[in-house]
Structure 1
Amino acid sequence: MPIPTRRTTRLALAALAASSLALSGCSTQGSSDTHAAVAADATVQHTGQSGGSKPLPTTEADWKPVADTLGRAGTLMDKTVYRVPLPRKDLKVTSQGVEIKPGLSLGGYAAFAKYRDGAMLMGDLVVTEDELPKVTDALQQAGLEQTGIHKHLLQQSPAIWWTHVHGMGDPAKLARGVKAALDQTSIPPASPAPPTQPPVDLDTAAIDAALGRKGTADGGIYKFTVARRDPVTDGRHVLPPGLGITTGINFQPLGEKKAAINGDFVMTADEVQHVIQALRKGGVQVVELHNHSLDEQPRLFYLHFWATGDGATLAKALRPALDANRLAPPTS
């Protein structure tokens, strides 16, 4: 049985609402109230114009079938999102003369959250141009939706693509679909994290001050992950930030406190041009503008960027772009 898509789920909800309306018409007392309540509920279910259904709290043990299927352990975030990293450590990618570390731009993931009507999968797979057709076929065969296919880097060798995926249903079945796609790539088996973090040759204090946030060292990359201020829904589901609804800014040290920066801003339509203008004013290159999902509310767009230079100077160039959209407020 194929994994239900959002469209088939919503069609079923619409049919249920219509059936409820028809039945309510048989009663005499309170029929107007019933009609109004059901119609309002149908509108909420279809458009997501409500608080929506929040993800359920879970434990690490709840996600063991997913970890076993993928052969990789994930991290439970805020007791709701189980996020499995899928870095392409096997690839040697260069862009504009910079050898790209996996943590800068080659870190795919699969994130899962449980709701009352099933588990949701949202992910981003990093694939070569040769792997992309086979990965696409595997995802489609598994009933998983592809919601975005794009690039994160400008000139690059070899050619790399990123494909976003979505699914609803049994978490182990969703994981099998992801595993089938990964089997079409040369992604290596999971490896344990190093006992200590490699040094980050950057003025991280100056970068933190410029961005008004505290970054995190991860595998030699200095990272920032910033959630949006307002809630985001997909149909009747509230999407927590851990599913990928965040702005990400990554600094890869290049020596002498210099860095390559890459990542993406998450924006509503009215914020896009302001972010682009702020980035260009700071000399930051715009790589690509696209969607990661098909019908979230509010509609979100993602903009990938690139620049090299002094790390603290780049952070100052990025700050106006951060301030141009409705992200969670800075800590300082």
Structure 2
Amino acid sequence: MCLRYLLAASILALSSASIANAQTIDWNIFTEPFIPSAHAQAIEWQKIDEIFGRKPAVSGEVHRYGFPRSDLTVTLDSVTIKPTLALGGWVAFMPMHGEAMVMGDLVLLETEINPVMAKLVAGGLEITAVHNHLLRASPATFYMHVGGHGDPVKMAAAIRDALAVSKTPLAPSAAAAPPAIDLDTAQLDQIIGAKGQNNGGVYAFAVPRRDPISEAGMQLAPVGPMGVAQSINFQPTGSGKAAITGDFVLTGDEVNPVIKALKANDIDVTAVHNHMLNEQPRLFFMHFWANDDAIKLAKGLRAALDKTASTKS
């Protein structure tokens, strides 16, 4: 009993500060109730907010800060991409053993990759992936996935310094009501098997996997805010059509069945790659694109989801 109390006391003695950034999407609707612990309360979230100059979206213990590339006008197949469709950079902080784990995905132009990477490395952050998510986009955008574990305030400052050498907007934009979604969202919900949400004029789904996912031995929860739920986004393009993109979160044996399901439904596979380095189970992220009848595309995406160990309401 004495040893148990000493161990509990030593764990409680560990505490520090943390990072995050807000995003329009309300991640709470995509997650099961998550009970906050004393670790979350010990982090000085206000300092993180001040460093980033914005408030986070909070889901359970996770604080997620959004850095959308609203400065860019990116087109693909004559579609002007909304920031919430494919240009929504973010970082999320989760309390971990008295400190914090950070994960994120920064949206960058090619000329910004090396300056941002140098700042992140100098600040003690890890680069876990650099790659494309889209094909044929103009200008081309790249996605730098980052991770770290330690003092959340120091990590937040390092991320802020790195973003400052890009043209990522660092002043939060004024809140505005999102434009209406000109799609049959009730039917989309029924087909996908989840409840979507209007995220800045994009109808967004986050579909969790059934199996738990951990990184560096720490279970990631809620999965949506930490970037490990299957993301499916519909941007209306008129007359019942939508541009779709996002990513499937897959184990190795699911990759090719999902490719076949997407291709059979005229949905392009635009990338297959990792986002993390030490996750369990080993995961691959598959990005996709199409612009067609929204209901037709939803049925194709559902066919692909059926090849995965995903939840369905």
Q: What is the CA–CA distance in structure 1 between the aligned matches of 2:141 and 2:42, rounded to whole Å? A: 32
Instruction: Say if 1:110 and 1:121, in contact at 8 Å, map to a contact too.
Output: yes
Q: Which residue of 1 aligns with 2:47?
A: 65
Deviation, structure 1 residue 201: 0.9
Q: What is the CA–CA distance in structure 2 between the aligned matches of 1:77 and 1:85, rounded to whole Å? A: 14
Q: Which residue of 1 aligns with 2:77?
A: 96
Which of 149, 152, 170 matches 1:171? 152
Residue type of the alignment partner of 2:56: G
Residue type of the alignment partner of 1:76: V
1:309-320 to 2 correspondences below 5 Å: 309-320=292-303
Q: Tell me which stretches of 4 or more aligned residues in structure 1 moved more than 6 Å.
A: none
Q: Secondary structure at the match of 2:111?
A: coil
Q: What is the CA–CA distance in structure 2 between the aligned matches of 1:60 and 1:317, rounded to whole Å? A: 45
Residue type of the alignment partner of 1:77: S
Q: Secondary structure at the match of 1:248?
A: strand
Deviation, structure 1 residue 61: 7.7
Which of 57, 69, 73 matches 1:75? 57
1:221 counterpart = 2:202: yes
Residue type of the alignment partner of 1:190: P
Instruction: Say if 1:248 and 1:265, in contact at 8 Å, map to a contact too.
Output: yes
Q: What is the CA–CA distance in structure 2 between the aligned matches of 1:92 and 1:73, rounded to whole Å? A: 25
Which of 280, 297, 310 matches 1:327? 310
Q: What is the CA–CA distance in structure 2 between the aligned matches of 1:281 and 1:295, rounded to whole Å? A: 32
Residue type of the alignment partner of 2:128: T
Which of 280, 295, 302 matches 2:278? 295
Instruction: Say if 1:146 and 1:165, in contact at 8 Å, map to a contact too.
Output: yes
Which of 254, 258, 267 matches 2:250? 267
Q: What is the CA–CA distance in structure 2 between the aligned matches of 1:134 and 1:166, rounded to whole Å? A: 17
Q: Which residue of 1 aligns with 2:259?
A: 276
Residue type of the alignment partner of 1:177: A
Q: Which residue of 2 aligns with 1:46?
A: none
TM (norm. structure 1) is 0.80
Instruction: Say if 1:128 and 1:160, in contact at 8 Å, map to a contact too.
Output: yes
Deviation, structure 1 residue 103: 0.6
Instruction: Say if 1:215 and 1:223, in contact at 8 Å, map to a contact too.
Output: yes
Deviation, structure 1 residue 197: 2.5
Q: What is the CA–CA distance in structure 1 between the aligned matches of 2:112 and 2:237, rounded to whole Å? A: 30
Instruction: Say if 1:55 and 1:114, in contact at 8 Å, map to a contact too.
Output: no
Instruction: Say if 1:56 and 1:113, in contact at 8 Å, map to a contact too.
Output: no
Deviations 1:264-300 (A, max 9, x none): 0001111111111111111100000000001111001
Deviation, structure 1 residue 117: 4.5
Distance change in 2, residues 1:249/1:60 (3 Å): farther
User: Which runs of no fewer than 5 residues in structure 2 stay unpaired?
Assistant: 1-34
Deviation, structure 1 residue 56: 4.1
1:120-135 to 2 correspondences below 5 Å: 120-135=101-116
Q: Which residue of 1 aligns with 2:269?
A: 286
Deviation, structure 1 residue 180: 1.1
Q: Which residue of 2 aligns with 1:19?
A: none
Q: What is the CA–CA distance in structure 2 between the aligned matches of 1:55 and 1:227, rounded to whole Å? A: 20
Instruction: Say if 1:55 and 1:113, in contact at 8 Å, map to a contact too.
Output: no
Residue type of the alignment partner of 1:306: W
Q: What is the CA–CA distance in structure 2 between the aligned matches of 1:148 and 1:285, rounded to whole Å? A: 22
Which of 222, 229, 233 matches 1:246? 229
1:44-59 to 2 correspondences below 5 Å: 56=37, 58=40
Deviation, structure 1 residue 60: 11
Bigger radius of gyration: 1
Q: Which residue of 2 aligns with 1:235?
A: 216
Q: What is the CA–CA distance in structure 2 between the aligned matches of 1:62 and 1:249, rounded to whole Å? A: 33
Instruction: Say if 1:246 and 1:266, in contact at 8 Å, map to a contact too.
Output: yes
Q: Secondary structure at the match of 2:174?
A: coil
Residue type of the alignment partner of 1:290: H
Distance change in 2, residues 1:224/1:181 (3 Å): same
Deviations 1:133-186 (A, max 9, x none): 111111111111110111111101112100000011011111011101110111
1:79-228 to 2 correspondences below 5 Å: 80-188=61-169, 189-194=171-176, 196-228=177-209
Residue type of the alignment partner of 1:70: F
Q: What is the CA–CA distance in structure 2 between the aligned matches of 1:158 and 1:211, rounded to whole Å? A: 31
Residue type of the alignment partner of 2:206: T
Q: Which residue of 1 aligns with 2:291?
A: 308
Q: Share of identical aligned residues, percent? A: 45
Deviation, structure 1 residue 235: 2.6
How many pairs are equivalent? 275
- Which shows bigger deviation, 251-260 or 184-193? 184-193
Instruction: Say if 1:66 and 1:175, in contact at 8 Å, map to a contact too.
Output: yes
Residue type of the alignment partner of 2:195: K
Q: Compute the RMSD of aligned alpha carbons.
A: 1.6
